[in-house]
Chains A and B, each alone.
Chain A
């Protein structure tokens, strides 16, 4: 949606000393400020000169503040598993991770001071990453950090951010704790900002990029950050705020088992002959047909050979998709959002000189249309048959 370079790119990396001068702060006071910062960072005073030098040039690495709300730290853990780049390259060379409850050396008041410094030093310039949902029931009391609810923290921090990334399904749309009866009223970041009426300090809406998945693939975060750092704009998003490079296709449309679906070859139980031959897992409840994510394309753990849930033999349960993961039963059949008949279409382009004739294109269109209608009908029928059989048996899977 938004492909224009954002105004904030200029905001990252101004010369702090120039800014201070613009604001009427003298060089002498700048030195005092640097001394203060040196002490605040817990460094020996001998290092003030280096700190001053650092403050006096564009920030080499953009500041990232990472907040944890109702979550399981799975998304942070996911980042520990990434190889390109690695988490150590990310936090030592690419970004300045100025606040993270999981990785911060400091705790308690010192942790709060780290957060306070990051806000004071990079107003309007840091990227906010939120992991976890926001509990809206009982005034947010179901989650507290240093006595503050997520709502309190968002009011204090979010208006200062340049953009926000909601990592994982919890921050994107509520995640597991939003499953019925949603006892804590858990919602995602974008919804919480809306409910609380939180805007950027200049009155504009805070851009929120959703990276659902349970956990989110680390590469969807890394690629989003690198997209921004390298191309100086935010990635193109779909209507649910998800980057198209990661969530532009159904799992079903990139699945290596798709030919088995199209050919009607289904595993009926874990360990049966079809399952052991890598057949389609649709009848076991695979939610690939209604879940948008790049799992089959980039897989997990960088170990190749179809290392992702469907690849090893377990149905997708739709963890990335709102209303599917943690909402539909594991073995409940998916709604098939895309039906694409395959070999029934004749080719439109011909290898012979002279190209395609109007008549042959029309014939191809008619056959294709017919096949589509047929396939839709077959899908409906398949679902009805399945509904009848699953309601009578408990042994399935």
Chain B
């Protein structure tokens, strides 16, 4: 039996530098290795600095998941100090999280992963009228007209005829795994372009509140730096808040009438893909969107689900929940760091030791996290499953809508277990976006009500006592649960570790040599053309990799060609 090793390097349409190696036998992946290819040492840089500054550095871990490392960092310091923040600050942070999350999920689906499923060249042959008929059958979006689709098609035709394909060069056009009819392809291409416009609106909300984006600059340990004053021009006043509300209204249409119909249509048309990409089925997510100053009541629940069984759900109930704190560990057995240990993030050190790609030994800059000593999958799927387990009404409603829409295309009921798949991760991300939009509405109303009550406070000053304090913060970021862990000594950072969603998912084998979620999800994945492993991209992209946060398929001989070996 011959096994071929392929190496995709670089994995594109992700954040950062990821290498993925796969062994392929009889057209299926039989083994896989995920390798993060960049290290910057930000955790090392933080040591000795002022804990109030940490969020400015950690936010630069990632410009795609911008905001998340900033918010998680201030939460960690506040947890270490036992510091509550004003309700206004909590709500302003929540609005930023919701708007950024919606932007991020939209960009992930259209710009970063749609081209795994959508054939741009086929869209050139579509009949705009047939495209309009298809799209109007899916939703009432005003731009689903034959005239609009014809205009988009003309733009793309002109672009292709120009002979400079730019980012579309060498795409997987005409690949045997591309199965959408031309009309569906044209619809998706049109929405690829429209998505760019709507993600900008989400970002304007982040800019108004955060001062800029990417990389917001309105946070502070103890709250936010936004000055709230309806009677002042240089503060968060009614004009600014009205602008946020207007942008929210514009964004809602795209989230409800385009994103959800598109994802469910593509999932339905690719129903033969529903069995692929399951992988690790222990799921972990954080509760988020706190409704109170302490962080004990959350708009979106989260917790741990072992063995893909929502009946075994264990919720995380508050900031600082010790169940989370004691169960998270990281291993460096297969990572490029000095030593071989499995430790709590509080006790970790980060000493780089690069040895090149060695699949038996170390092969990644990404560490391998575990929860209750086992790998866990994180991300929107984990979050949606937890919310269903917790009985969250909005989530159940949107999930039901999504599964019903998919079933309408496939012609048979789609069970919840179908979510344990690559397409399931896309569907869950879309469901989560619907819930995020509800969060935007809820937190906006809550902020207005609180300001109307006369409460303008936005900041509680931190006090750093002598001696040592430890704490952690968690946050359900777009790619999954994020936690930052800090040890403070006499007002300075003594140790700092970030355990990041893409670390959970992109991590190499752990202390017991168990595969990480990307690696496990690739097993059994079909590969029709080893030269063009589109299907590997489908599964890896379904996790929304973010390698600055934590990867790329690549070959360890540094050759351009596929290395073929017999096993």
Contact = CB atoms under 8 A, between A and B. Distances in A.
A101 B112 CA distance: 10
Contacts of A88: 193, 196
B548 interface: yes
Given A108-B11, A183-B352, A307-B211, A74 B170 contact: no
B165 A103 contact: no
B348 to A, nearest CB: 15
B270 interface: no
Given A142-B354, A184-B40, A329-B49, A106 B211 contact: no
Nearest to A49: B161
Nearest to B15: A73
Contact of A70 (B40, B121, B212): B40
Interface stretch (B198-206, B258-266, B301-309, B445-453): B198-206
Nearest to A57: B163
Nearest to B540: A107
A113 interface: yes
A333 interface: no
Contacts of A305: 233, 239-240, 243
Given A77-B64, A271-B227, A329-B50, A303 B11 contact: no
A50 B160 contact: yes
A105 B49 CA distance: 41
Nearest to B63: A74
Contact of A330 (B16, B56, B61, B554): B56
Nearest to A70: B40
A301 B167 contact: no
Given A80-B196, A312-B218, A109 B37 contact: no
Nearest to A101: B12
B311 interface: no
Interface string B114-139: 01000011000000000000000000
Given A301-B207, A394-B491, A183 B15 contact: no
B169 A102 contact: no
Contact of A77 (B66, B120, B168, B228): B66
Contacts of A249: none
Interface stretch (A24-32, A225-233, A275-283): A275-283
Contacts of B7: 108
B314 to A, nearest CB: 33
A146 interface: yes
B164 A215 contact: no
Nearest to B196: A88
Interface stretch (B459-467, B495-503, B515-523): B459-467
B169 A117 contact: yes
Q: Which interface residue of A44, A106, A312 has the most chain B CB atoms within 10 A?
A: A312
Interface in A154-182: 175-177, 179-182
A395 B463 contact: yes
Interface in B182-211: 193, 196-197, 199-200, 203-204, 206-211
Given A105-B168, A329-B53, A278 B40 contact: no
Given A42-B172, A54-B164, A110-B170, A308 B60 contact: no
A73 B548 contact: yes
Contact of A143 (B38, B44, B63, B196): B38
A109 B189 CA distance: 24
Task: Kindly name the residue among A97, A142, A300 whose own CB sees the greatest number of chain B CB atoms within 10 A.
Answer: A300
Question: Which of the four size classes fits the interface of chain B?
Answer: 35 or more
A303 B490 CA distance: 42
Contact of B171 (A101, A105, A109): A105
A74 B66 contact: yes
Contacts of A61: 162, 164, 166
B498 to A, nearest CB: 13
A277 B365 CA distance: 47
Interface string B94-125: 00000000000001000110010000110000
A244 interface: no
Interface centre among A83, A86, A179, A314 (most CB of B within 10 A): A314
A269 B172 CA distance: 55
Contacts of A197: none
Contacts, number: 354
B347 interface: no
A312 B218 CA distance: 7
Contacts of B63: 71-78, 215
Interface stretch (B375-383, B429-437, B531-539): B531-539
B52 A397 contact: yes
The DSSP consensus for interface residues of chain A is loop
Contacts of A278: 227, 232-235
A43 B173 contact: yes
Interface in A308-332: 308-314, 317, 319, 326, 329-331
A276 B45 contact: no
B9 A72 contact: no
A30 B268 CA distance: 45
A371 interface: no
B361 interface: no
A77 B214 contact: yes
A80 B213 CA distance: 10
Contacts of A50: 160-161, 163
A326 B456 CA distance: 31
Contacts of B294: none
Interface string A28-59: 00000000000011111001001101110001
B167 A97 contact: yes
B164 A42 contact: no
B10 A107 contact: yes
Interface string A91-131: 11001111011111111111111100100000000000000
B12 A176 contact: no
A102 to B, nearest CB: 7
Nearest to A301: B207
Interface in A172-225: 175-177, 179-184, 186, 214-215
B15 A312 contact: no
A112 B213 CA distance: 31
Given A97-B166, A311-B234, A72 B354 contact: no
Contact of A138 (B14, B243, B354, B558): B354
A142 B40 contact: yes
B409 to A, nearest CB: 25
Contacts of A74: 60, 62-64, 66, 214-215
Interface in B210-227: 210-215, 217-220, 222-227
B482 interface: no
B459 A270 contact: yes
A377 to B, nearest CB: 29
Which residue, B12, B14, B219, B365, has most C-beta atoms of chain A within 10 A?
B12
B8 interface: yes
B339 to A, nearest CB: 16
A300 B200 contact: no
Interface in B483-499: 491
A48 B434 CA distance: 44
A150 B217 CA distance: 30
Given A77-B63, A111-B12, A175-B60, A91 B166 contact: yes
B278 interface: no
A192 to B, nearest CB: 15
Interface string A126-155: 000000000000100111111110000000
B428 interface: no
24 contacts: A41-B169, A47-B160, A73-B63, A80-B111, A80-B203, A86-B196, A98-B167, A102-B15, A103-B167, A105-B115, A108-B533, A109-B531, A109-B561, A142-B365, A147-B558, A176-B60, A270-B222, A275-B227, A276-B235, A277-B232, A305-B243, A307-B208, A313-B211, A394-B464
- For the complex of A and B, list the 3 residue pairs with the smallest distance between their C-beta atoms, beginning with the closest: A74-B63, A54-B163, A278-B234
Interface of A: 40-44, 47, 50-51, 53-55, 59-61, 63, 68, 70-78, 80-81, 83, 86-88, 91-92, 95-98, 100-114, 117, 138, 141-148, 175-177, 179-184, 186, 214-215, 256-257, 269-271, 275-278, 295, 300-303, 305-314, 317, 319, 326, 329-331, 394-395, 397
